[in-house]
Structure 1
Amino acid sequence: MTGRVYLVGSGPGDPELLTVKAKRLIEEADVVLHDKLPGPALALVPDEKAEDVGKRAGGDRTSQQYTNDRLVELAEQGKTVVRLKGGDPFVFGRGGEEMEHLADHGVEFEYVPGVTAGVAGPGVAGIPVTHRDHNSSVSFVTGHEDPTKDESAVDWGALAATGGTIVVYMGVGRLPDYTRVLMEEGMDPETPVALVERATWPDQQVAVGTLDTIVEVRDEEGIEPPAITVIGPVAATRERVEAFLRTGGEPPTEGE
């Protein structure tokens, strides 16, 4: 009897931001195929269930084809499988490819949404991706496109002209490239920019600069992947609220 696969988003990393359903499915699963990005949430996955199929830019990686085939193989063995991904499986997580592969092989699956880092990352840093005083749109783009493409599918010129917030996933390495293009396309060099590394993880870091200075700030602060880039006036809100911002952990004691 064929098993079932659950494409599960783990959220940005803090285990308390995992959905109730995701936690239950992890507990009930026979096998959990996980990425690197779930971070601290991986502590909820027993070692005997866990299979690491993660990827790291420029480092060790498991091919997507292997992951696709492994999901089918386990399901055909009658296993209940959780495919655990950081953030949301369908937001730059290749969940769509896995869904299609499962369907092509007659395997039942279910999608379980997760809190995407493009909203949660800025939010925990005191940066709302939308704010009625600053923007009427937000664009989510990847800074790590398919390397086999002849040219970028992201129209940075159009994004520069929108006047909205730009949120870039996996864009730390290419930060010099797209910030330069945005300025060349007419975006103000003084536009606020924030980098949020390992959002909601214990070692979260935030760095703030402008379109013109953020590459230097990145290098000075040592910001590394995984990180979210936020470009637009909303990035400046952090300075106003930072002193009052709680970023998780224990609730405040009486009188705090």
Structure 2
Amino acid sequence: MSLPPLPDMILEPLVRAALMEDLGTYGDLTTRTVIPAGTRYAARLRAREAGVVSGLQIARIAFHLVDPSLRLTTHKSDGDPIEAGEVLMEIEGEAAAILSAERVALNFAGRLSGIATMTAAFVAQTQGTKARITCTRKTTPGLRLVEKQAVLHGGGFNHRFSLSDAILVKDNHIAAAGGIRPVLRAIKAQASHMIRVEIEVDRLDQLDEVLAEGGADVVLLDNMDTPILREAVRMTEGRLCLEASGNMRLERIAEVAATGVDYISAGALTHSAPTLDLGLDF
């Protein structure tokens, strides 16, 4: 999925921190020892398996933070489908700089491409329905922005970026506040009209309460089996946006999408996606 890139200045601190972690206190000791100064090389960042690429912008930032004079030629853009063996980027310049940035560039690109690839597989299961695939806040600490961007590159949609984005009432909020009706009444009394409200239910009688009380824009249908999801869609009759969540495995997505829910959220997109195999070859 082709998207405008984020401004480099937003991503640079994240990439810089990863480079500082990897370079340590003395830099790339191996390269400093064995590569003569002035040695120049050309390298290719290549896909070793098929998927959807993400993280090339970050890889470019990593190489240029180490050495702004490196010459980079990109052959793919974040969000593009890729095949095994395809060259994604070529890097020319000081061999020492290329080697020093290599691992950080590959770590980001491989991790994010894995997320984009898994997301694309989930999205493919929703064809012919209105359901959209969305991620959750189950992200790697510190990497939420780029992991959620990778979900977009895979054709998915983003849920909240932080607790301050919207009101999402979970089961523990309901228990602590004394029930669904007290929660929704508190929201109607206190929340800004600019804030979207989502509330989680795991039983149809709870959905009935939400529909009767009002005050929510979205209902999260948590850990419901497919027939119950279908009944929830029938009960709601389009009055609220419905999000199915919990135990959303790839093999289940098509049947869940067919129930008529609006969104399917899957934490697995960001917490369980396998890294896509990418390599850098001189």
TM tier, smaller? under 0.3
More helix by share: 2
- The normalised TM-score by structure 1 is 0.26
- The normalised TM-score by structure 2 is 0.24
Structure possessing the higher relative contact order (Cα contacts under 8 Å, 6 or more residues apart): 2
